[in-house]
Each structure stands twice: as C-alpha cells, then as structure tokens.
Homo-oligomer: A and B are copies of this chain.
Amino acid sequence: MNKPTLYTCLSPSLLHLYDVRECVVVVIDVLRATSTIATALFNGAKSIIPVDTVEKCIKLGKDMECITAGERDGKVAEGLQYGNSSFEYPRSFIEGKILILTTTNGTKLLHMALNKGATEIITGSFLNQSAVSDHLLQTKRNVILACAGWKDKVNMEDTLFAGAVISKIKNHFTVNCDASQIAGCLYDNAKGNLYEFLKVNDASHYHRLINFGLEQDIRHCLTEDLANVLPYYVDERLVI
C-alpha cells in the first residue's frame, strides 16, 4: 500500500502551493496561538472560536457573551479582554467557558486553510506534540504541516515543531518535500534543548517575547506534552 504523503508549508504565503482539500492540515503557531489553544482546551475550555480579525472577535464576544482574547504584534489587542499566554487560562478560570481568539498569525492561517477548502484541521504545538503525531499516524491521511510564521516570514519555532513531528512519523509517510527535510534536520540539531537553540540562533520571536518579559511563556511553549490534547476544528470552533 502506498504511504500517505507529508508536506511542510513553511509560510502562509506558500499555502497556495499545496492542495489542502484531501489532507489533514496541522496549523502550527508555537509562539503562541496553538500553544494557548492546547492549554485552554486541556484546562477544560468548552471550545475556542478562532476569528481572523479583532473586530470580529469583539463583535462575537458581545453577541455570545463570551471571553475575548487575542494579540497583535505580541501584545493584547485593543478592545480585547485577554492575551495569548497559556498562563492566562488556568482550569480555575477557563473550565466550561468559550474563548473567542484572534492572533497575528495562527488564527489567520487557520482561516486561510478553511478558505482553500481544508476539510480536516487540527492545531499543533509542543504542548500537544504526541497527540498530534499519534493522530497523524492513526488516521493514515495525507498531511500538511502548516507553519504560521511571523507575518508570512518563515520562523524558527514553527519550523522546529514541524521537524519534531516529522522526526516522529516520517517513516510512515512519503516525504518528497525539501521543506520537511530541512525542518527535520533543524529539529535534530535542536532537540533536547529547544530554548537554548532559539536563543543561540537568534530566533526573531525569541527576542520579541523576551523584550516583553515573557521568558517563562517561551519555556512553557517549548515543553513537550504538557497539554496533550488534540484540538480539531468543527462547526466554526476548536474542540477536543
């Protein structure tokens, strides 16, 4: 039997090169949208509604009387209540609630994939790495690892997470994709100490968040399987 295919899309600006319709699309925004999504759902959030603009987030929050959250350029967006840090969503706060979320890169990419006809979208981060990898191994569908990057530029942490997944599952897929090979190679260099790797290699988002005093956020988002759930998109929301 032919193995399913695996591709890595390193930037939303490259998504048009891939046919997302017959694949599982893994949306990856390690710092920090998909880490926050995993955490909030792990901690009992009822669902997360990703929206692509701050305006939609505010309006939907009013209409549904739900928590609104999101950031632009790494900071809480004006008009929203909460930010994009896992630490804002402990079980004591988020359990049973619906969160409406918009972010600079991750939620935008999710909507791009939807608009291109994606039928199965899940979200991935180091926090739920095993859940994602296990699902991809079990489902045996073609896979696109879609990195959110930063404003369409390729970034290191999303590429590293793609590499982590590839490293775990590649033998079960046909990987005719240089971007995947590059990501896998990068991860092989970084594994064991992802934080130091980002620091030593001057990852741009590392510096951006450090400048906001968010070292603990970065460390949290690089920890494997702390919130090991499988968020999937259905009926306009992410659930587990």
Write the residues of chain A forming the contact surface with B, with a CB cutoff of 8 angstroms: 10-11, 13-14, 16-17, 150-156, 159, 175-179, 181-182, 184-186, 189, 201-205, 207
Contact = CB atoms under 8 A, between A and B. Distances in A.
B189 A185 contact: yes
Contact of A152 (B14, B181, B186): B14
Contact of A178 (B14, B16, B155, B189): B155
Nearest to A206: B178
A201 B181 contact: yes
B204 A176 contact: yes
Q: Chain A interface secondary structure, helix, strand, loop or mixed?
A: helix
A185 B201 contact: yes
A201 to B, nearest CB: 4
A178 B152 contact: no
A153 B179 contact: yes
A186 to B, nearest CB: 6
A182 B149 CA distance: 13
Contact of A182 (B16, B151, B154): B154
Contacts of A177: 153, 204
Nearest to A150: B178
Contacts of A14: 11, 13-14, 152-154
A53 to B, nearest CB: 21
Nearest to A160: B182
